[in-house]
Structure 1
Amino acid sequence: MITSSLTTNLNYKENKPAITLLMETDATKEIRIVFKKNQEMKEHTAPKPIVVEIFEGEINFGIYEKEMHLKKGDLIALEANVPHNLICIKDAIVRLTIAKSDSITRVNKVVS
């Protein structure tokens, strides 16, 4: 059994989203991304399918040249290699599920 928390030890960064690996299972890595209002993750892709959950706050999620307004409780799943970006509208906690073979280093590079 593995346990973790989306709300414990929150550390908002001033200049970019904060990324934390919460747990790694046999199939996935669960990542928390903490955004302050107006912080963003510029357009990028993931090499494997992903799931994004808005646990708290609000995000504008850009995909296929459209912008979706996602709020607390919303989820979105993307296939591999789909370009997307995120812009925080209201301080947010986002849960990102990536494949075990994907890398948290890749996710960190998106916000660098």
Structure 2
Amino acid sequence: MITASITKNITYKEDKPTITLLMETDTTKEIRIVMRKNQEMKEHSAPKPIVVEIFEGEINFGVNKKVLNLKRGDLIALDANVPHDLVCTEDAIVRLTIAKTDSIKRVNDVVS
């Protein structure tokens, strides 16, 4: 059994989103992305499918030349290699599920 909390030990950075590995299972890595209003994650893609959940707040999620306004409770799943970007419109906590073979370093590189 593995446990984690998406709401404990939250740190908002003023200059860029905060990326935290919450847990790693046999198949996935669960990552928390904490964003302040107006912070963004430039266009990028993942080598494997991902799932993004808006736990708190609001973001504009750009994908396929569309911008989706995602709010608390919304989820989106993307296939591998789909370019996307995030712009935070209200302080947000985002849960990202990536494949175990994917790298948290790759996610951190997006915000660097």
TM range (shorter): over 0.9
Provide the C-alpha distance between the structure 2 equivalents of 1:91 and 1:64, rounded to a whole number of angstroms.
24
Tell me by how many angstroms 1:37 deviates. 0.2
Tell me by how many angstroms 1:22 deviates. 0.1
Partner of 1:46: 46
Provide the C-alpha distance between the structure 1 equivalents of 2:88 and 2:54, rounded to a whole number of angstroms.
11
TM-score in terms of structure 1 length: 1.00
Partner of 1:83: 83
Tell me by how many angstroms 1:89 deviates. 0.3
Provide the C-alpha distance between the structure 2 equivalents of 1:66 and 1:50, rounded to a whole number of angstroms.
18
TM-score in terms of structure 2 length: 1.00
Equivalent positions of 1:55-94 (< 5 A) are 55-94=55-94
Tell me by how many angstroms 1:3 deviates. 0.3
Q: Which runs of 5+ in 2 are unaligned?
A: none
Count of residues in Structure 1 that have an aligned counterpart in Structure 2: 112
Q: Which runs of 5+ in 1 are unaligned?
A: none
Partner of 1:14: 14
Give the AA of the match of 1:13: K
Give the AA of the match of 2:74: D
Runs of 4+ in structure 1 off by over 2 angstroms are: none
The sequence identity of aligned pairs, in percent, is: 77
Please state whether the residue corresponding to 1:97 is helix, strand or coil.
strand
